[in-house]
Structure 1
Amino acid sequence: MDVIPRTFLPTTLESGAAIPSRHLPIVERCVDPGDDAVLVTRCTRPDAPLAGEYLLLLTHRRLVVIQRTPVLHRLRLHLNANLRHLSDVTWRPDLSRPALEMAATAVDGVRERFRIKFPDTESVWLFEAKLREVFLGTAA
């Protein structure tokens, strides 16, 4: 079965993020057919605020981040990493905004940071529980 209709689209609808179909070819190239999407959301990079918007896709095996450039709205694969190749993965909920900041060190040694905004604090805790499930192996 194709990963897009089976897991990516339902996860996208669950997150409430409207994802343009032009992201789909990149997702298909990066994600194996048997790898289910856990989280799909839009995010920004706090250390590069003018770099545009990003789409973060987390599966049980991969972290894929696609950049949409601010002016021309071109898509570029920013990060495609097997979870085993990420180190020092951390996240910190910020309930005053509500948001969550996630960081990980890629295999090339670059520290990647992403900030995800949410409509309410309940969404922050749901997202945090899924991160815990994937990275710590605890059931949500």
Structure 2
Amino acid sequence: MDVISRTFVVIPSRHQPIVERCVDADEEPLLVARCTRPQAPLAGDHLFLLTRRRLVVIRETPLLHRLSLHLNANLRHLSNVTWRPDLSRPALEMAATAVDGVRERFRMRFPDTESVWHFESTLREVFLGAA
């Protein structure tokens, strides 16, 4: 059984075909979360997936619940990556500029502040090389 099959238990099975096309079988998922796009609040829910090499975001349409790939980027091709924890909600907003020049923003909500800090710590490790 490959790494994706073993560790992506939290990803709904209907997202698996898109994930398998984007992520190599040996890549370990670091973060998986539902998110929204603040600049497009009616665009539906998104699934945020981060590995050490890729950022994949899958969109689910609000009415028909159809899935489509929103972003599939090698981390080296992302620039100006920033994030900001919001402990009053608890949530975290992340932004990055894709290779095509489009600034992407994603907002993740969490059940508690501990989850926010875990997410922030992993982003720091991946993008800044600090643990």
TM-score normalised by L of structure 1? 0.90
Tell me the distance in 2 between the aligned counterparts of 1:138 and 1:6: 27
> How far is 1:83 from its partner?
0.1
1:72 paired to 2:93: no
Could you say which residue in structure 1 is the equivalent of 2:4? Answer: 4
Equivalent pair of 2:97/2:104 in contact (CA under 8 Å): yes
Aligned amino acid, residue 25 of structure 2: P
Q: Select 2:20's aligned residue among 11, 15, 28.
A: 28
For the residue of structure 2 that corresponds to 1:132, the secondary structure is: helix
Unaligned runs of 5+ in 2: none
| Shift of residue 119, structure 1, vs aligned partner | 0.6
Letter in 1 for 2:38: P
Counterpart position of 1:42: 34
Q: Which among 52, 57, 77 is matched to residue 60 of structure 1? A: 52
Identity %: 79
Give the corresponding residue for 2:101: 109
Report the Cα offset of residue 4 of structure 1: 1.9
Please tell me the residue identity of whatever aligns with 1:67: R
CA RMSD of aligned residues (A): 1.0
Which runs of 5 or more residues in structure 1 are unaligned? 13-18
Q: TM-score, normalised by structure 2?
A: 0.96
2:83 aligned with 1:94: no
- Tell me the equivalent position of 2:73: 81
CA contact (8 A) 2:83 2:93 kept: yes
SS at match of 2:8: helix
Q: What SS does the corresponding residue of 1:78 show, helix, strand or coil?
A: strand
CA distance, structure 2, for counterparts of residue 24 and residue 3 of structure 1: 13
Q: How many residues align?
A: 131
